[in-house]
Structure formats: structure tokens, C-alpha cells
Amino acid sequence: EGVTKPANAVSGVSGLGTQLPVELQHKLGPQFVEHLAAIHTFDFRSRDLSAFDVPEVGTTQCAEWGVNWWERVWEEDSDEDIPMMRLCAAWLRENMPVLDHASVVHADYRVGNFLFTEHDARITAWLDWELGRVGDRHQDIAWTTTRAFASLAADGKTLLTCGLMPEAEFLAAYERASGLSVNPKTVHWYKVYNDYMMVALTMATGYRIARGGKTHQDVLVTWLMGIGYMLLDEMCALIEEAP
């Protein structure tokens, strides 16, 4: 029950460029943080999630599995060689973070991927779990705080994470709600990882399924290929800025 964006929103794709009224920001923001904390602290071992591989805490296994997966996707689906993708994969492998806590990871936690009731601003459901896994919470934090899902506050200067609150406020609230710390270096690594994943999805898999006639959204996925070049530029900048 609910909607992904206000009925009067002007954004075309939910989650991208969605401007939320200040009243909604104040009501949805705390729930947004609390739900993410609940996902990351959920005792997945208490449920039958045996279909999911669980990476070993204290190792780089989680990061390595992720890079292995998306590098394989890129190699199988891409139609052109992009040297930056090889460089990025090498950088990711050389800088893999150690997992300190295994969590359920949504992998697409952002504005536009939850339903909320407009009359009382209550988040009722989370959507798009297809990339979910047991892994590192920093993957979600890096994704949620990416600039692509941010928007400016009413002052025209303050950047709001997912259009809800400033990043520093979001991170502090998350740490309080979850009892888990946020490692900036690990977040940075996962920002590069997420860009690598999205380039693989937009410029390789998107092209492959459109060319092969495997999707009814061929126009959309072909359009999304253009975003891949922006992501490549961002990926390069992030690697240069790496702590």
C-alpha cells in the first residue's frame, strides 16, 4: 500500500530528481534510517536463508565475491572493451576491505524504492530486492549516499541524501540506530564498486538484452547506456581521490 513519490512530483523516474516537500522529509527521514538499520542488524541466521552464501567476517571474501560476480557479468555481456573497467577491477582487488560484520544488504536502498502512504507519511514496504545479498552494510551506505539520488534543500546549497537529510546527519543517525560504525574508507571502496556494477549493468547487460530482444523495455535500457559514461568518469575520479 502506498506510492513511491508524491502524486504531484515532477520527476520522470522515481528516485531520480524527486523533490520531497520539507514536511515529508521530516517524517520519512527517520523511518528511512531506522529501516536501513533494522535490515543491517537483522539476525539472518534465525531464518532459512540457506540459498545465500555468507562471507566470512574478518576476511576480504565478501568484497572478492562481489568483484568476481560483476567482472564475470562485464566479460560475458559487454560488446566493447573499455580499459577503464579493467583498471577499476584491478584497483578493487588491490584495495578490498575486510568485512567486520555480515548483514543483509538491500543493494538498491534509496528514495523511489519504498512505498509510503501520503495521508500519514508512513513507509509501508521496500521494493527491488533482486540484488540483495548477505554482505557488507557499507555497500548500502555507499549506494544510498551517491549524488545521483541526492537533491538540494530549499536553501539551494545543502545536498540531501536521497532528498531527506544532509549526509552527515544521515550517517550519525544510522550509527545511533544500528549500533554499527561507518568506515569512510570502506564506504569509498563501495562507491567505486557500485559504479563498476552499474557500468556493467547499463553498458553491458542493458545492451545485451536490448540487442537480443529479451526485454520489453529496450528503449529505456538503451537510453540508460548513456549514463554509463558518466559513471566511468565518476569511477575514475573516485579512484584518484581514494584515501
Tens-place pLDDT, residues 139-185: 999 999 999 899 999 898 999 999 999 999 999 999 999 999 999 99
Instruction: Name the nearest CA neighbour of 40 among 204, 182, 222, 157.
Output: 182
DSSP 8: T
Q: Answer yes or no: is pLDDT of 21 > 80.
A: yes
**Mean pLDDT of all residues in 184-210:** 95
Domains of the chain: 1-53+105-178 (3.90.1200.10), 61-96+181-243 (no CATH)
Quickly state the pLDDT bin for 37 (edges 50, 70, 90).
very high
Cell readout for 229 is 559514461
Q: Which amino acid is at 135?
A: G
pLDDT of the residue at 11: 56
The model's pLDDT over 121-139, given as tens digits with 9 standing for 90+, comes to 999 999 999 999 999 999 9
Neighbours of 22 (CB within 10 A): 9
- pTM for the structure as a whole: 0.93
